[in-house]
Amino acid sequence: MAEMARILLEVVGGVIPGEPMPIYTKQFAISSDVYYAQGEYEGREQEAQMEMFKVYGTAQEYMRSLWNPQMCNWVRCEWIYL
């Protein structure tokens, strides 16, 4: 069975403000398993926290890669806890 996402990050960008271009849209997810494991007192809490930081960092790096006026006029990163 597929893992449920607990945190979803979406990076969108485009030329016309407010009109995202599908080519620049990417989603990044943190699973419930990873999210809840970081609160454990024994087990893999540090590993889970590092996994979360890796996903956050990947989304932020992708967003920064779109900060290029030759590609996009705007970029936005949104996240939601599910």
Domain that holds residue 58: 5-81
Whole-model pTM? 0.81
Query: What pLDDT is recorded for position 70?
Result: 93
Query: What pLDDT is recorded for position 1?
Result: 47
Mean pLDDT of 1-15: 85
For residue 1, what are its two tokens? 């069975």
Query: What pLDDT is recorded for position 67?
Result: 94
32 to 1, 17, 69, 72: CA distances (angstroms): 13, 33, 36, 33
Summarised one tens digit per residue, pLDDT across range 16-74 is: 999 999 999 999 998 887 777 776 666 677 787 888 889 999 999 999 999 999 999 99
Number of domains in the chain: 1
Query: What pLDDT is recorded for position 2?
Result: 57
Mean pLDDT of 12-16: 96
